[in-house]
């Protein structure tokens, strides 16, 4: 039985690995064609595009694992069925449940790899990717620290401590340098607002002029800020639930609850993270009874098309339902579990009816 489990498991893992690499390559190809629309924008060239896609790959790998597991298992188990290997196993006394359990054991290995990537590599890589892309296109040096966001706009260094949204900032410090990089002016503003005309306005301003023998301090209620800072650049530092690990999501949800803020998007992202590994196992469960009940001589292309339709269809259904849950304020746990639960119930019903 150990040899049987090892053989089935290794074949499923190999099939899933090939499938996820193919899907990842296709997704990166389509992303590459999209990014070509921004080619030459600022300092965003081919080298930067390839680096951006490389940094986004861990997140895409994590999200593609469930459909890849389905496609890979349909391909490998289908090949085994075509070669009569599954028939021989069943004739030798191996039950369908034993075959499913062997596939599930392989699925646990796939889940472990996906969790490691999704928890420890993907969040940081995606944040770096978004920051890298935005700063390259804006031709501005940007760095995010525990003291807020730091940017450079020609000879002005900008520190933003609070970002309420992409067009509403708070606690801003501006440090203006001369050509010799000597500080000549420091400005603090309580708020900065971006208007419909594409201009920034500072409010609650305190300006310090550094002269040779003294410092002149003046205050102003409001003034226009002649910066070319694009709000799109700030979107990369607004906390996106999709960019956070499970542990970060838990901490942030607690923080938002303590401040009486809406936590639904973050709770939905948290439950989605927890359910995604289960989705991989459900996809594998779908594959086994389907293969055992399908015609013996179904072509490889047909299996791949079938697996792609089911896997990517499930992925699309999951994303659509998540957006609907945000719009209609559905329970986050229900919204995350419903798509996977629906597929599992259908697969279980099919299994019970057929076998």
Residues 169-218: tens digit of each pLDDT: 888 999 999 888 889 999 999 988 888 777 888 999 999 998 888 888 89
User: pTM to 2 decimals?
Assistant: 0.77
221, 143 contact by CB (below 8 A): no
| Distance from C-alpha of 310 to C-alpha of 343, rounded to nearest angstrom | 10
Q: Calculate mean pLDDT across residues 132-146.
A: 69
For residue 184, the tally of other CB atoms under 10 A from its CB is 14
| pLDDT higher than threshold 70 for residue 241 | yes
Q: Calculate mean pLDDT across residues 118-136.
A: 85
Could you tell me which residue, 39 or 306, shows the higher pLDDT?
A: 39
203, 192 contact by CB (below 8 A): yes
178, 155 contact by CB (below 8 A): yes
Q: What is the pLDDT of residues 277-296, one digit of tens each?
A: 899 999 998 887 777 765 54
Q: What is the pLDDT of residues 29-57, one digit of tens each?
A: 999 999 999 888 878 899 999 999 999 99
Secondary structure letter of residue 37 according to DSSP: G
Q: Calculate mean pLDDT across residues 132-144.
A: 70
52, 35 contact by CB (below 8 A): yes
- Two structure tokens written together for 230: 């694009």
Distances in whole angstroms, Cα of residue 115 to Cα of each of 65, 82, 306: 10, 33, 26
286, 347 contact by CB (below 8 A): yes
| pLDDT higher than threshold 90 for residue 79 | no
274, 33 contact by CB (below 8 A): no
């Amino acid at each position: 039985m150990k040899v049987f489990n090892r053989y089935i498991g290794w074949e499923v893992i190999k099939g899933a690995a090939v499938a996820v690499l193919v899907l990842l390559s296709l997704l990166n190809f389509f992303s590459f064609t999209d990014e070509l629309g921004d080619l030459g924008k600022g300092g965003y060239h081919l080298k930067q595009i390839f680096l951006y896609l490389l940094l986004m790959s861990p997140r895409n790998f994590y999200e593609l694992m469930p459909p890849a597991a389905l496609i890979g298992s349909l391909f490998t188990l289908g090949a085994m069925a075509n070669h009569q290997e599954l028939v021989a196993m069943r004739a030798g006394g191996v039950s369908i449940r034993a075959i499913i359990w062997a596939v599930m054991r392989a699925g646990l290995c796939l889940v472990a790899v996906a969790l490691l990537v999704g928890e420890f590599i993907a969040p940081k890589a995606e944040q770096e990717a978004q920051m890298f892309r935005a700063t390259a296109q804006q031709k501005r040096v940007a760095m995010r620290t525990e003291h807020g966001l730091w940017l450079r706009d020609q000879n002005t260094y900008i520190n933003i401590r609070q970002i309420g949204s992409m067009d509403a900032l708070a606690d801003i410090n501006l440090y203006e340098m001369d050509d010799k990089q000597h500080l000549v002016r420091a400005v603090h503003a309580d708020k900065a607002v971006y208007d419909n005309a594409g201009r920034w306005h500072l409010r609650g301003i305190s300006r310090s002029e550094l002269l040779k023998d003294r410092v002149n301090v003046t205050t102003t209620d409001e003034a226009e800020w002649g910066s070319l800072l694009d709000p799109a650049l700030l979107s990369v530092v607004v906390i996106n639930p999709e960019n956070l690990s499970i542990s970060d999501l838990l901490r942030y949800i607690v923080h938002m609850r303590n401040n009486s803020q809406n936590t639904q998007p973050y709770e939905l992202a948290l439950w989605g993270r927890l359910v995604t590994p289960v989705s991989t196992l459900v996809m594998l469960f779908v594959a086994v009874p389907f293969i055992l009940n399908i015609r013996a001589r179904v072509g490889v292309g047909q299996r791949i098309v079938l697996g792609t339709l089911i896997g990517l269809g499930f992925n699309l259904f999951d994303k659509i339902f998540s957006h609907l849950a945000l719009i209609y304020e559905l329970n986050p746990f229900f919204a995350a579990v419903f798509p996977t639960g629906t597929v599992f119930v259908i697969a279980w019903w099919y299994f019970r009816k057929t076998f």
